[in-house]
Structure 1
């Protein structure tokens, strides 16, 4: 079994480790073969772990190259992001820019404002983002992220209680009421928060890139709406699993070929 370490909060060396807030405590998560979460403070259940198993795709009418690539994966597990604020902020940071640049930017913010937690660091809170001086955003080369992050932080603090009660698909729509939060950002944030990758914007460049890289012989649609329709048709009832595994395959592929500019990079 392998881990999907797409979220930039993972401290990858010497062992993948991540700190995360839940509604009842702070957890330190280590990506081991046994899944070893450690409660640092608070109480309650550990963050939820999702498993995406290639075996469930065996009967789908996938193109041969894509099917072979995904069946070559072991089951992939991923920790859902219990902190909706962090999921939203991460999706905003990932807007427009490449994955490597987004990771660098996120890690710089973490180093500047994060709270040390064991062998990792907790991300800045919404309150910290609202209090952050303009010059600090500029210093971190995040000036163009200031307004969307601050708008999201303000909305989160005002609406988090009602958002927590919403079904995931309704939450995707609610987040788009925030200025400069569109369908891509809202879908990526809620997929991160719930582990349901049927909510991820699966017609985006990352999924299209890895589908073509896994199966270059197939005539994949080039425009996003046509690709998304084709993807839904192929996935049937396993849209979340197909999307998550394709992104995970791309993630592993990037590490084998680091020059490739894919979106999802550790």
Structure 2
């Protein structure tokens, strides 16, 4: 299955598709795994594969092990556009997942570059040029300052950021005003495909772990959950985290369940 957690996926004629920038071109991605070059050149964005069989499923709580086993291999398009990953994580701050998805779609439709029936994230230059009134008209007044601070920092530092190891990049992004550990970790995980960098004790992971295994004695506090999660994952922290999020995303698309608001 393909993981469709990123709010850049839009539905057109019953098909989920997403526009994505690479360094050399713009691509239209189809949920079933197809890609089409729209402009520029170069390779399509890479697809990362996460395999439940790499986990020690016998060490997991039974409900969670069963849920992840039913997924089979999960494929996820890696977000090659660091700016998109960063802006997306900012939009996801504080608000609930369903609201963030709607806001993301509205923002792209209003200010982004149209690609077929979807649109790219507005460029950092476009975000910096937007007035307070434009943000207010979109219901995004409280997102203006963090998005514009991130856009300004991205234009100044993106060449340097792209050369940093992923764990160092997480720390570097937190120098930007209003970007905390959650936002930085979520953005870098999206960009690199390494979900050991994702804030794996956040509400989304805790929610889906408990939904998959409601009988489990999951710690309610973040530090306690994080320690339990690391112990269960062993050397496969990225795989366990992304598969749980993939199960949650798939589960949420069946009955409409919202995984909750996210911190900064």
Range into which the TM-score falls when normalised by the shorter chain: over 0.9
Q: In structure 2, what is the equivalent of residue 27 of structure 1?
A: 27
Pairwise CA distance, 1:59: 4.8
Pairwise CA distance, 1:45: 1.4
Q: In structure 1, what is the equivalent of residue 173 of structure 2?
A: 175
Q: In structure 1, what is the equivalent of residue 163 of structure 2?
A: 165
Deviates more, 1:204-213 or 1:35-44: 35-44
CA distance in 2, matches of 1:112, 1:119: 13
Root-mean-square deviation (CA, aligned residues, Å) is 1.2
Deviates more, 1:7-16 or 1:102-111: 7-16
SS of alignment partner, residue 180 of structure 1: coil
1:147 partnered with 2:176 = no
Question: Could you list the runs of 5+ residues in structure 1 that have no partner in the other structure?
Answer: none
Pairwise CA distance, 1:60: 5.4
TM-score, with structure 2 as normaliser = 0.96
Deviates more, 1:83-92 or 1:210-219: 210-219
CA distance in 1, matches of 2:16, 2:57: 33
Match of 2:65 among 55, 59, 67: 67
Q: In structure 2, what is the equivalent of residue 7 of structure 1?
A: 6
2:10–2:105 contact (8 Å) kept in structure 1: no
1:60–1:235 contact (8 Å) kept in structure 2: no
Q: For residues 138-196 of structure 1, what are the alpha-carbon distances to aligned partners after superposition, in whole Å with 9 as ceiling and x for unaligned? A: 00010001100000000000000000000000000000000110000000000110111
Matched ranges for 1:197-216 at <5 A:
197-216=195-214
1:261 partnered with 2:258 = yes
SS of alignment partner, residue 20 of structure 2: strand
Question: Could you list the runs of 5+ residues in structure 2 that have no partner in the other structure?
Answer: none
1:124 partnered with 2:122 = yes
SS of alignment partner, residue 124 of structure 1: coil
CA distance in 1, matches of 2:8, 2:217: 36
SS of alignment partner, residue 10 of structure 2: coil
CA distance in 1, matches of 2:11, 2:171: 33
Q: In structure 2, what is the equivalent of residue 56 of structure 1?
A: 54
CA distance in 2, matches of 1:248, 1:12: 19
